[in-house]
Structure formats: C-alpha cells, structure tokens
C-alpha cells in the first residue's frame, strides 16, 4: 500500500474549511441491524465510509487495507473509542482471549497472556503484530453497542458458548453494557469526551493496569464536538512511553479542488450523517500535541488512493517527570 506525505505548503494552499456550528454530542440514530444487506446509507450513518471524489471501489479497498494495518498494531489492553457498531472487530487478533475449558485453565491462560503482553512491550518494536489481552469498547449510542455486542459474539472465539445469540433486555442508557470473560471483553455506553473506563482486571490480586497499551479510533474526529478535547482525554488513558494511540481518520485533502467540494457540501453532509468531512485532521492532531504534555506524533500516513483525505496516525505519550524530578534529557 502506497503512502505519501502531503507536498510542502499544500495544506494551507486550498480554501479554509467553513466554520460549522458545534456538532451535537450524539450521532444520528441507527435503525435495526440487517444482516442480509449493507446499504450505503447504513455505512454512512456509521461514519465508517467517508465518500470523497475517488471511486467507491478504490475507497473500499483503501479503507480495508488501512483498517487491517490499524488492527494488527493493536496489542495488550485495547480501548476502542467510538466503537460504533463494531465493524472493526473482525480485524483484531483475538487468540489471546479464547475461553478456557475450566476455571483453573482460564486463570493459567490469563496469567500467560499477561506475561506475553509484558514481554511483547519490552522486546518487540512497536508496529509488529501483538495479542489482545483485553478489549474495551466505548460509544455514546446504546443502539450501536447493541450491534457491537452481536459482532463481538461472532468474532471472538468461544464467546458463542458464554453469550446468548441475542440480548433480551434493552441496552443501558449509560455504563456497562457487556462484561464477559472475567472483564476481558467489555462494552460501555458513555461520552468519550467526558470520561473513559480504566482497563480490565486480568488476574485476582494482580490489580488493574491504570492505562491502556493501545487506544484505537476510526473516523471519529469528524463527528465529535471537541476533537482536541477528545484527544486530550484519550492521551490520559494510554501507557506512557510504551502505549500508542492509533487513529484512522478522514478530512481535508492536499488538493485544492477536492477541499472546495468538501467545503461546499459540508453543511448538508453533516445534517444527514453527523460528520464534518472537511476538518483539517492533521492540524487538530498537531494542536493536541502542543496542548497535551508529552503527547507526540510518531507517524502520519496518507494513502495515495484517496488523495490525502484518509489519515493513518500514530501517537504516543512520553513519561512526564514527577515534581522536582529532572528530565532524563536535562541530566548532565
């Protein structure tokens, strides 16, 4: 897959994005799930397919490859923000979450997974395939999480044995919606701009890790009211130094005429899909990096197939010195 940085000076050459009113905190409603068809309007409502000038075939192939790259980078304790209806779940490696046949075997399995997670973080360069030790998904929409719950059951090996095919009771309006495999797979209804849940407790007496190894978000910064505020909140939940924030987003291109089209139809697109597709995502990320202590942009890639409108972004948070402590780079 080809990636390219935008040409120098091109980001500011096109028309500036229109100044939209603040988006609502909740996304457009989603109707009942239909497993027999996936019409385009459903894909658009999920904010997962940002239609731009490129052809639909190129769009889907590029997005698929980007999601594949994104999910293979997810490792350890994983948090997916704005998980939506769970369309990304099929890309994760769930082998570390396979339920054991007995309580003793499960405790041993959990311990082994946690040991491997720590070893991976110590020895493997970031970006190599890792295992998912626990998964937490957060979304503001109970209806969307109802679909995510069903997709978890389909994608995580063994969940079909411990989860009913369909949830009878309605999804809660807030808080825990799913908690299975001793907390290793969870879904929460909540506003990610306000509060995010801590990682799961994996072993009795072992305590809970305070932060996640990987935080994932796909096509979410276009829909939230305060993108920089969301990134600030997400940064507070990732492990310093070893953790990563992985974003797959869409927004402004480096090509002027595409940006003009995005600007022209931005208002109507938002009214219909709850998405500002003309936001300057790179600028928002750079602003967050300047605002949040220790937040660093590790990598930013743009697939050529989508003319720079899709961005694959990797961020980290450097460990901050305690009060009175001299930073390592300042020591003599």
For the domain that residue 221 is a member of, what is the CATH number?
3.40.50.150
Averaged pLDDT of the chain: 75
Burial of 183: CB neighbours in 10 Å, binned 0-12, 13-18, 19+: middle
Average pLDDT over residues 45-61: 43
Residue with the larger pLDDT of the pair 280 and 120: 280
Task: Tell me the C-alpha to C-alpha distance, in Å, between residue 213 and each of 5, 75, 221, 289.
Answer: 27, 7, 21, 19
Mean pLDDT, range 162-191, rounded to an integer: 89
The pLDDT, as a whole number, for residue 157 is: 86
Residue 292 scores a pLDDT above 70: yes
Task: Judge whether residue 225 has pLDDT over 80.
Answer: yes
Q: Residue 116 falls within a domain, yes or no?
A: yes
Which of 44, 34, 90 is closest to 67 using CA atoms? 90
Q: What are the E-state strand segments in the chain?
A: 76-81, 132-139, 175-180, 185-189, 214-218, 244-250, 295-301, 310-317
Total domains, the chain: 1
Residue 92 has pLDDT above 80, yes or no: yes
Residue 33 lies in a domain: no
Residue 20 counted as domain residue:
no
264 assigned to some structural domain: yes
Cα–chain center distance at 108:
30
pLDDT at 160 over 80: yes
Least confident of 18-32, 144-158, 165-179: 18-32
CB 24 within 8 A of CB 274: yes
Nearest 5°: CA angle at 19, between 13 and 25?
Answer: 130
Q: Is residue 12 part of a domain?
A: no
Residue 22 is assigned to a structural domain of this protein? no
Domain that residue 99 falls in: 41-318
Q: What is the DSSP string of 32-61?
A: ---TT---HHHHHHTT-----SS-HHHHHH
- Whole-model pTM? 0.73
What is the side-by-side order of every strand in the sheet holding 132-139?
A: 175-180, 185-189, 132-139, 76-81, 214-218, 244-250, 310-317, 295-301
Q: Is residue 203 part of a domain?
A: yes
Mean pLDDT for the stretch of residues 108-137: 64
pLDDT of 105 > 60? The answer is no
Q: How far from chain centre, in Å, is Cα 329?
A: 32
Of 119-123, 133-137, 183-187, the least confident: 119-123
Q: Would the pLDDT of 22 be above 90?
A: no
Give a yes or no: residue 3 inside a domain: no
- Segment 231-241 shows an average pLDDT of 95
């Amino acid at each position: 897959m080809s990636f390219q940085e935008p040409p120098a000076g091109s980001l500011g050459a096109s028309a500036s994005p229109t100044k939209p009113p603040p988006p609502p905190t909740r996304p457009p409603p989603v109707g009942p799930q239909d497993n027999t068809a996936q019409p385009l309007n459903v894909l658009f409502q999920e904010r997962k397919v940002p239609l731009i000038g490129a052809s639909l075939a190129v769009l889907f192939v590029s997005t698929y490859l980007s999601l594949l790259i994104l999910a293979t980078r997810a490792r350890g304790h994983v948090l997916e923000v704005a998980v939506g209806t769970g369309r990304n779940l099929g890309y994760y490696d769930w082998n570390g979450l396979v339920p054991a046949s007995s309580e003793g075997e499960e405790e041993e399995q959990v311990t082994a997974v946690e040991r491997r997670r720590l070893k991976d973080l110590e020895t493997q360069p970031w970006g190599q395939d890792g295992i998912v030790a626990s998964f937490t998904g957060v979304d503001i929409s109970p209806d969307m999480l109802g679909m995510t719950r069903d997709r978890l059951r389909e994608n995580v090996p063994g969940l079909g044995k411990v989860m009913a095919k369909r949830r009878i009771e309605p999804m809660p309006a807030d808080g825990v919606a799913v908690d299975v495999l001793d907390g290793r797979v969870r879904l929460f209804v909540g506003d990610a701009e306000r509060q995010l849940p801590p990682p799961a407790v994996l072993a009795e007496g072992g305590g809970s890790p305070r932060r996640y190894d990987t935080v994932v978000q796909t096509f979410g910064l276009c829909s939230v009211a305060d993108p920089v505020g969301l990134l600030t909140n997400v940064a507070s939940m990732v492990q310093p130094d070893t953790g990563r924030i992985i974003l797959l987003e869409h927004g402004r291109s480096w090509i002027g005429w595409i940006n003009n089209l995005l600007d022209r139809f931005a208002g109507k697109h938002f009214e219909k899909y709850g998405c500002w597709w003309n936001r300057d995502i790179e600028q928002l990320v750079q602003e967050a990096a300047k605002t949040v202590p220790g937040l660093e942009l590790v990598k930013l890639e743009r697939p050529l197939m989508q003319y720079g409108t899709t961005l694959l972004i990797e961020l980290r948070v450097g460990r901050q010195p305690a009060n009175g402590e001299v930073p390592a780079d300042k020591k003599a």
